Amino acid sequence: MRNFINFQTDLLRAFVSVIDLGAYTKAGDALGRTQPAISLQIRRLEELVGAPVIKQVGRSLTLTSEGEMLLSYAREMLRLNDEAASYFNRSKIAGVLRIGLPNDYAVAFLQGVITEYTSQHPGISLEIHCGWSADILDRLRADELDLAVAMVNNERSQYLSRSWIERPIWAAAEAARFDLGTGVPLAAHPEGCAYRARMIQSLDAAQIRWRVAYTGSGIAGLQNAVVNGLGVSALTRYTMLPGMRVLDDSDGFPALAEIRVGLFYKHPRLSDAGIRLVNHIVARLDEAGVSGDPVRRPIELDRQ
């Protein structure tokens, strides 16, 4: 007879809380337990895994390779557990949710998904904060946001729940024509933008001259610059507008490198309304065929 290993949700919740809150004592405070009790739960979880999931390096805590893998499963198992609990506890969902979105998503697919959710739950108020991904993640880390969508890079994957790939596309006005021999006018966000970097890298690799003809931090201004023929830009399929066309290799434009985008949140900090919103976003991503696996990177924590 097969021996089943059951991962208790209380152990997984303690594990995710330590990771998301950055310390054993903070996890204990959030869960109403002492630091030794949280440590015991982590040891019990490691017994089930059959290997350490967190190791101490100097004064810092680091996830082991097994811990990185477990974190992905744990987030998903807790999300489904809390979704089921929320379904059978049909109390009115209300409150304020603070959401961070990068500039390119502020008027696109995910804003529609989020506002759709609030229309179904009129007791929820939204505070949407738009900005650069690094700033958004800093605000999430400081508990100024409940959840965030941001670009994923190699260094900042803490709090990552889901990620998916976006392939930027070259966008130009329908009637615009460009002579690659004289240089490409670009409409771009300021330096530091992942889309701007990919345009420049792509053109430099193809030895195509370029110049920045328009720069601005807002997506609306960038879209207007493209529609009015001021320059070409890297957009997503969700931010293409009527009056634009896609440029590709037949136009002499090289492909742009992909961008990984992620959904970030601190599970122990989320209210029932926040958990339901996360489930709503994940469901819509699955329906759209854009959801994927989290990028697993080492995360350093402080033991407190």
- pTM score, whole prediction: 0.75
User: Which of 56, 86, 116 lies at the terminal end of a domain, its last residue?
Assistant: 86
34 and 100 both lie in a single domain: no
Do 82 and 98 fall into the same domain? no
Convert the pLDDT of each residue in 13-39 to its tens digit: 999 999 888 889 999 999 999 999 999
What is the pLDDT at residue 7? 93
pLDDT at 47: 94
Residues 246 and 183 reside in one and the same domain: yes
Write out the residue range of the structural domain in which residue 214 sits.
169-251
* Domain presence at residue 141: yes
- Is residue 303 in some structural domain? no
Of 171 and 102, the structure prediction assigns the larger pLDDT to: 171
The CATH number assigned to the domain holding 177 equals 3.40.190.10
Round to whole Å and give the CA distance between 40 and 250.
61
| Position 204 in a domain | yes
Residues 6+ apart with CB under 8 A from 171: 226, 232, 233, 234, 235, 240, 244, 245, 246, 247
Number of domains comprising the chain: 3
Q: Which residues pair with 232 in a beta bridge?
A: 186
Whether the per-residue pLDDT at 91 is higher than 80: the answer is no
Please give the backbone phi and psi of residue 192, each rounded to the nearest 5 degrees, phi first.
105, -15
Would you state the pLDDT for residue 154? Answer: 63
Q: How large a percentage of the chain has pLDDT more than 70? A: 90
Same domain, 268 and 223: no
CA angle (296, 110, 294) in 5-degree steps? 10
Rounded CA separation 62/54 (Å)? 6
* 10 pLDDT more than 90: yes
CATH number of the CATH domain containing 63: 1.10.10.10
- The answer, yes or no, to whether residue 213 has pLDDT greater than 90, is yes
Provide the CA 114 distance to its chain's centre, in angstroms. 14
Residue 304 lies in a domain: no
